[in-house]
């Protein structure tokens, strides 16, 4: 398969569909390439030599349709596109498996850079780095200010009992990948259950909101929020807790987990919390619970990766070090919950 015809992307069939559904959009033969960096769904950049688009589809040979719901992703960006929340313009959704072998959607290509490491941020310098991270908070406030009813997302999730369900779900995920002792993780899970906060009014939440899931434009402002596969209606402070967790500087030598929080100029967690509270008007007194929950969730995700590594089911470098990180995340979760 040539680089211009990556697996999972039939350019001739895609061209035919676009000509039928969006006449005049494409002006020439299509080329395509896989965009690296996605964690589960496949993302391709497609061009006719003049304009560019992005195609999102489930991984090859996927089984769980609910885990790779293209209709859901397309729905949320379509609903948010007319708002102040920066998302790519949706072009079309195709639920016919005969075109690419799975449902997919097409959206406009947005120019911008995903910053994944402190090293990538370094050329920006401290002030631009600081402004970019504060912009991440401001854009999250914009997302959480969207009225789900007004944009047609009133039924996009089940907000009642959201935190309890999340905690149970991640507990089950942990049980599914248990093959070693993990001191403190059951204690953390139980402590989170005992201290469950009362959620504020539900909003559209991203579910995986962090710097490397947005594109920064040349002006260092957020050009687009990407990767909406975890989005739902739920407790907005889960997004805040995750963003705060990713803002704690972890110095992990030779770690396969990248963190941007050690970049010079990166605001500290307290400043991000204060900024979100001031701009959103929400009460963040329980933010330590949400941050501890984020540490727990990441510990479970990393343990799942470590478990697959022990079974020989991972491909690539760095997976042998993942297991060492899990106790670090558990410890941070316990400390955050105890000390606030």
Same domain, 62 and 124: no
**Dihedral class, residue 120 (left if φ above 0, else alpha if ψ from -120 to 50, else beta):** alpha
- The pLDDT tens digits for 273-301 are 999 999 999 999 999 999 999 999 999 99
In whole angstroms, give the CA distance from residue 103 to residue 98. Answer: 9
**For residue 84, is it within any domain?**
yes
Q: How confident is the model at residue 42 (pLDDT cuts 50, 70, 90)?
A: confident
Same domain, 251 and 221: yes
Same domain, 95 and 153: no
Same domain, 98 and 31: yes
- The pLDDT tens digits for 232-261 are 999 999 999 999 999 998 877 666 666 799
Same domain, 196 and 100: no
Domain of 28, CATH number, reads 3.30.200.20
- What is the span of the domain harbouring residue 98? 11-108
pLDDT of 1 strictly over 50 = no
Boundary of a domain, candidates 82, 108, 134: 108
Give percent of the chain above pLDDT 90. Answer: 78
Domain of 198, CATH number, reads 3.90.1200.10
Residue 321 is predicted with a pLDDT of 84
Boundary of a domain, candidates 73, 108, 143: 108
Same domain, 144 and 266: yes
Question: Which tokens sit at 127?
Answer: 């002030």
Same domain, 156 and 250: yes
- The pLDDT tens digits for 46-68 are 999 999 999 999 887 654 444 55
Number of Cβ atoms within 10 Å of the Cβ of 274? 13
**For residue 5, is it within any domain?**
no
Mean pLDDT score, 100-118: 93
Contacts of 70 (CB under 8 A, 6+ apart): 41, 56, 57, 58, 93, 95, 102, 103, 104, 105
Same domain, 128 and 104: no
Contacts of 52 (CB under 8 A, 6+ apart): 45, 46, 108, 109
Radius of gyration of the chain (CA): 20
Mean pLDDT score, 72-93: 97
**For residue 218, is it within any domain?**
yes
Same domain, 334 and 203: yes
Say how many domains are in the chain. 2
Boundary of a domain, candidates 68, 90, 108: 108
Number of Cβ atoms within 10 Å of the Cβ of 117? 14
């Amino acid at each position: 398969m040539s680089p211009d015809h990556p697996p999972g992307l039939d350019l001739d069939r895609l061209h035919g569909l676009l000509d039928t559904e969006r006449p005049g959009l494409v002006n020439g033969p299509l080329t395509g390439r896989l965009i690296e960096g996605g964690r589960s769904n496949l993302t391709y950049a497609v061009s006719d030599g003049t304009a560019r688009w992005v195609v999102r589809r489930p991984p090859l040979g996927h089984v769980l349709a609910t885990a790779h719901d293209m209709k859901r992703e397309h729905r949320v960006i379509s609903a948010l596109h007319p708002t102040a929340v920066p998302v790519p313009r949706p072009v079309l959704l195709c639920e016919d498996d005969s075109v690419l072998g799975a449902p997919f959607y097409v959206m406009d290509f947005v120019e911008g850079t995903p910053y994944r490491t402190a090293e990538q941020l370094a050329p920006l310098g401290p002030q631009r780095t600081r402004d970019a991270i504060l912009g991440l908070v401001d854009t999250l406030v914009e997302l959480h200010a969207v009225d789900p009813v007004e944009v047609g997302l009133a039924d996009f999730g089940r907000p009642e009992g959201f935190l309890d369900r999340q905690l149970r779900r991640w507990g089950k995920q942990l049980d599914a990948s248990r093959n070693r002792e993990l001191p403190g993780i059951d204690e953390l899970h139980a402590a989170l259950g005992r201290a469950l906060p009362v959620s504020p009014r539900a909003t559209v939440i991203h579910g995986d909101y962090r710097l490397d899931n947005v594109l920064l434009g040349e002006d260092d402002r957020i050009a687009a929020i990407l990767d909406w596969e975890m989005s739902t209606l739920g407790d907005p402070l889960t997004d805040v807790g995750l963003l705060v967790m990713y803002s704690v500087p972890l110095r992990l030598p030779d770690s396969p987990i990248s963190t941007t929080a050690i970049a010079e100029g990166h605001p500290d967690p307290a400043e991000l919390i204060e900024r979100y509270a001031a701009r959103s008007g929400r009460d963040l007194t329980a933010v330590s619970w949400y941050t501890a929950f984020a540490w727990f969730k990441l510990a479970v995700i990393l343990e799942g990766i470590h478990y697959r590594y022990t079974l020989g089911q991972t491909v690539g470098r760095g997976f042998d070090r993942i297991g060492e990180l899990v106790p670090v995340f558990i410890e941070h979760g316990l400390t955050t919950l105890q000390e606030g």
